Structure 1
Amino acid sequence: MAQEYSVITQSLVTINVSSSLNSFGSERRFPKDLKIAELKDKLVLLTGASVSSMKLELFNKEDKLVCPLDNDEALLGSYPVEDGMRIHVNDPNAKVGEFEDVSKVEKFELSADEYAKRADSVRAFKERNKMGRFKEVTPEEQQRLDEEKKIKEQKEKEKAESMKIGDRCEVQVAGQPSRRGCVQYVGTTDFKPGYWVGVQYDEPVGKNNGSVKGRQYFQCPDKYGGFVKPENVEVGDFPEEGFDDDDDEM
């Protein structure tokens, strides 16, 4: 007489699925009246394992092995499976990480000229709707923008020219703690337009040694140098932090 299998718990169960083929897992909800053979078919789509070599193991919430799910004709619910448990899919014939290696995936590449010709791109959408850099600017608006730019550049130049090499200073950039140091360079640079102030910091909180992209603007130890916009620099009586000028101390 053929053996009969039946569901011994609720009709649906939420299970975590892991696999020997990849490092990620997923949570899925399965009916308890699903045969193990049918479950394997579904797990092929989730893990990439082969039905013919797939081995299933059930782990409890403490991640301890409960039992193998080794009877293809048995129902999932005939095993002591509960919400939150894990089914691990092991396929010894598959290569580990095979479906995570994107180095072999052929990448679609499009040149700038080809992209510009496309009518279904984000660029084309912005161009049609006059958005971003494609926004139309009236002559009056352009004149206002040019004037604002000139005013900003003039203020930047005046602020820079108010500083001189050797001035003690404090640098305050939005979102960063204030830093103290000494002005070592004032002027324009090759790396970005406008005026810049080269600072030798009192501590190694900088990004360079006074050199940027092969040009040496000033000399200082590595990690003590930095360049900031004049608006972020204040010169004045800023002694080195951590030093006490008391005559009783040497």
Structure 2
Amino acid sequence: MEVSGTSAPTVTVFISSSLNSFRSEKRYSRSLTIAEFKVIDHSGVRLGEYEDVSKVEKYEISPEAYERRQNTVRSFMKRSKLGPYNEELRAQQEAEAAQRLSEEEAQASAISVGSRCEVRAPGQSLRRGTVMYVGLTDFKPGYWVGVRYDEPLGKNDGSVNGKRYFECQAKYGAFVKPAAVTVGDFPEEDYGLDEM
């Protein structure tokens, strides 16, 4: 028995993936062999070899040469007095930062170490604890209040980046801004769990 007929000169291949709902349609010549279809890289480069960017040659320019150029972002910002080159805006930001610091200092001066407190931080539940530290820190600018919580709701043990500000158990300590701290007679919460 002999079968004869005409066939299209191309083959249509549909490529799909379980990762998304899109399908790709490709057309190939019937004369294309699998060896020609398969891409083989003979360059000797292994997969992921160029991910180490230390092997990539980088373009470097000295700060003096960059400063002399006229078509750079820095020269545009200087001409337009934008960002750090806007003296008025920078002076205004420095004044606002100084005002915030003086407000924080006034709030922090009303908080004394050893006082009981409630912490009302935005996006967090009400927490009670004892004030363990009040003052400036090395990890962020401004005044901070170190609190030892009654429950393990904190983030540290009284130390940040290896510097110890006060002593407490792990996950019982936290640093909050003075505005979030209310000092007063706040005894530890009794949930009645000791009676079990």
Q: What is the rounded CA distance, in whole Å, between the counterparts of 1:119 and 1:34 in structure 2?
A: 57
Letter in 2 for 1:36: L
Q: Could you list the per-position Cα deviations for residues 67-115 of structure 1 after superposition, in whole angstroms to 9, with x for gaps in the alignment?
A: xxxxxxxxxxxxxxxxxxxxxxxxxxx88xx333412742526478379
Q: What is the rounded CA distance, in whole Å, between the counterparts of 1:125 and 1:108 in structure 2?
A: 24
The 3-state SS of whatever aligns with 1:29 is strand
Cα 1:148–1:136 shift into 2, 3 Å: closer
**Equivalent residue runs for 1:1-250 within 5 Å:** 6-7=7-8, 12-16=12-16, 28-33=24-29, 35-37=31-33, 40=36, 44=39, 49-50=40-41, 98-101=46-49, 102-103=51-52, 105-106=55-56, 108=58, 110=60, 113=63, 117=67, 122-137=73-88, 142=91, 145-241=93-189, 243-244=191-192
Letter in 1 for 2:101: E
- Report if the CA contact (8 A) 1:116-1:124 is conserved: no
The 3-state SS of whatever aligns with 2:88 is coil
Percent identity, aligned pairs only, is 40
Give the gaps of 5 or more residues in structure 1.
Answer: 18-25, 52-93
Letter in 2 for 1:15: I
Letter in 2 for 1:134: Y
Cα 1:134–1:176 shift into 2, 3 Å: farther
Q: What is the rounded CA distance, in whole Å, between the counterparts of 1:239 and 1:231 in structure 2?
A: 20
Shift of 1:212: 2.7
Q: What is the rounded CA distance, in whole Å, between the counterparts of 2:41 and 2:6 in structure 1?
A: 25
The 3-state SS of whatever aligns with 1:137 is helix
Between Structure 1 and Structure 2, the one with more helix by share is 2
- Report if the CA contact (8 A) 2:120-2:180 is conserved: yes
Q: What is the rounded CA distance, in whole Å, between the counterparts of 2:176 and 2:65 in structure 1?
A: 36
Q: What is the rounded CA distance, in whole Å, between the counterparts of 1:222 and 1:185 in structure 2?
A: 16
Q: What is the rounded CA distance, in whole Å, between the counterparts of 2:72 and 2:12 in structure 1?
A: 44
Letter in 1 for 2:25: R
- Report if the CA contact (8 A) 2:154-2:172 is conserved: yes
- Report if the CA contact (8 A) 1:7-1:33 is conserved: no
TM-score, normalised by the number of residues in structure 1: 0.55
TM-score, normalised by the number of residues in structure 2: 0.66
Give the gaps of 5 or more residues in structure 2.
Answer: none
- Report if the CA contact (8 A) 2:147-2:175 is conserved: yes
Bigger mean CA offset, 30-39 vs 179-188: 30-39
Cα 1:28–1:192 shift into 2, 3 Å: same
| Aligned residue-pair number | 185
The 3-state SS of whatever aligns with 2:169 is coil
Shift of 1:186: 0.8
